Amino acid sequence: MDDRSSVCSDDDIAEVYQRHVDTVYRLCFMYLKNASDAEDAVQSVFLKLLKIGKKFADHEHEKAWLIVTAKNYCKDMLKSWWKFRRVRMDHLPELFNSENQEQANELMETLLALPPKYKDVLYLYYYEDYSVKDISAMLNRNESTIQSQLANGRKRLKVRLEGGIHHVRSD
């Protein structure tokens, strides 16, 4: 009966880290917009996992827990007094392997500029491949709300991208 994923040993933590570090980092960077802060957040999320010795039903449950924990940690960081006294760096590291890195960077920068309710759902849907149902459960929102936020977020993203692009794109 024990097909549950238990994070107990150093090897277990190392495996979980290898499976999910990129996802957690991208999410933290999306919120914090700073590589150093994102790295600190990733470290804190995995330390929390190590301290609590969480048991997961499967790898997807593990990933969902890490995403929710990272999101909450980043939101707490953004509310802290320390964040307001730091110089903000707007440099976006190369996070994606793309034939056109410039367009990928522009897309991510535009996504990061959206209000959180759109940014969160678009990121989870398109970059992490979660379904509307999964996102609904993670964010404690109705599926219809997630669908509306995806549609409105796509419209906002399209308007902002078209407004910022001065060359013809081929689809």
Q: Strand, helix or coil at 129? A: coil
Q: What is the pLDDT of residue 169?
A: 37
Read off the DSSP letter of residue 58: S
Domain 101-164 coded CATH 2.40.30.170: no
- Better pLDDT: 144 or 89: 144
Q: How far apart are CA 41 and CA 31, in angstroms?
A: 10
Q: List every span in the chain annotated with CATH 1.10.10.10.
A: 101-164
Paired sense of beta strands 5-6 and 55-56, if any: antiparallel
Q: Burial of 64 by CB count in 10 Å (0-12 exposed, 13-18 middle, 19+ buried)?
A: buried
The fold of the 5-84 domain, in CATH, is Rna Polymerase Sigma Factor; Chain: A (1.10.1740)
- Better pLDDT: 152 or 129: 152
User: What are the distances in angstroms from CA 20 to CA 17, 27, 60, 165, 171?
Assistant: 5, 11, 10, 33, 32
Neighbour count for residue 108 (Cβ, 10 Å): 20
- Summarize pLDDT for 71-120 with one digit per residue, the tens: 999 988 888 755 554 434 333 344 444 456 677 777 888 888 889 899 88
Q: List every span in the chain annotated with CATH 1.10.1740.10.
A: 5-84
pTM over 0.75: no
